[in-house]
Amino acid sequence: MASSGSKNNPSSDANNDDSAAALRSLGWIGSGVILVVVIAVAVLMYNFQTDKTGQIGDTIGGILNPALTFLSFIAVVMALFLQQRELSLALNEYRRSAGALEDQRSELIEQRSNAIFLMMIEVHRHNVDGTQVGGRDNPYVGRKAFGILKTLYSQKYEYFMREPPGDPTSIDIIRRAHNEFRRDQDVVVRHYINTLRHIVKYVEATFKNPDPYMDILRSQLSKSEIFCITYDCLARNELYLLEKFSTDIRAAHDGGDFFLRPEHLALLNNALAENGGTLSTVAT
């Protein structure tokens, strides 16, 4: 992580190089000043006269005091540069550490979200496998149970279509059949639909790209389950799941023998259109 961080901060490396160059320049300047002072003192000492030692001392003092003051200034500047460099290195290290911690945090959140999603998929499978329809002696279980639910719903619908003769383009008959159907199978269907809705909402609220997770969820659904979802949501005008599984409804319709009446496809398209959906999501 540290090597990648230094690659991602070329400006910081450039600043460190500039600081080092400045320190070298200041060092050369200080060395030059010291050399000049030494030469000046040597010349004065070589040419001094004994009766002018006071003047020589004043001269040396006049040279050394500014020189030493300048060297002190150089030392302060060098110390500031070194301090700035240390702070810059510490700041860069902190930023790299913070970036690594943020990446680790994101990975942990993603792993936890994936684990929760897989648990929800497992709950969905458990619901499907635990679904029972029929008598206690020989019940239909699992996916076969959803096939029986489809048959039972179809029977209810055909009953209301016969007495009195109904209009296949009317949503009312679908709702009457649905109400009668849920009197016997309400617990099974309601629990299944609620769990499915929670999974879809979790995927949309959690993942930036929900499509792969929705594909996993769709792969768990049988054609009979799609049928139950379609007519349950259509009867209750719950368009949320209809929109989310519109491609699955289209695929089931394209496979043939899906809708109870061909006119029901138009009902579905009209319901989606009223909610701002696109008609192209379900083929005609």
Q: What is the pLDDT of residues 98-153, one digit of tens each?
A: 878 887 888 888 899 999 999 999 999 988 888 888 767 778 888 888 888 888 88
pLDDT band at 284 (very low <50, low <70, confident <90, very high): very low
Mean pLDDT of the chain: 78
Cβ neighbours, 10 Å, residue 59 = 15
Please report the pLDDT score of residue 48 as a whole number.
Answer: 59
pLDDT band (50, 70, 90) for residue 246: confident
User: Rounded to whole angstroms, how far apart are CA atoms 82 and 20?
Assistant: 9
More confident position, 120 or 20: 120
Grade residue 15 by pLDDT with cuts at 50, 70 and 90: low
The yes-or-no verdict on residue 171 having pLDDT over 80 is yes
Kindly report, residue by residue over 190-229, the tens digit of the pLDDT: 888 899 999 999 999 999 999 999 999 999 998 889 998 9
Helix H, strand E, coil C: the string for 15-78 is: HHHHHHHHHHHHHHHHHHHHHHHHHHHHHHHHHCCHHHHHHHHHHHHHHHHHHHHHHHHHHHHH
Nearest to 28 by CA among 83, 79, 71: 71
Distance of CA 25 to the CA centre of its chain: 49
Q: Given pLDDT bands bounded at 50, 70 and 90, which one contains residue 59?
A: low
Letter for the amino acid at 206?
T
- For residues 245-273, average pLDDT: 82
Mean pLDDT of 76-88: 80
Give residue 46's pLDDT: 63
Closest CA to 191 of 108, 111, 128, 255: 128
Domain ranges of the chain: 2-106, 130-281
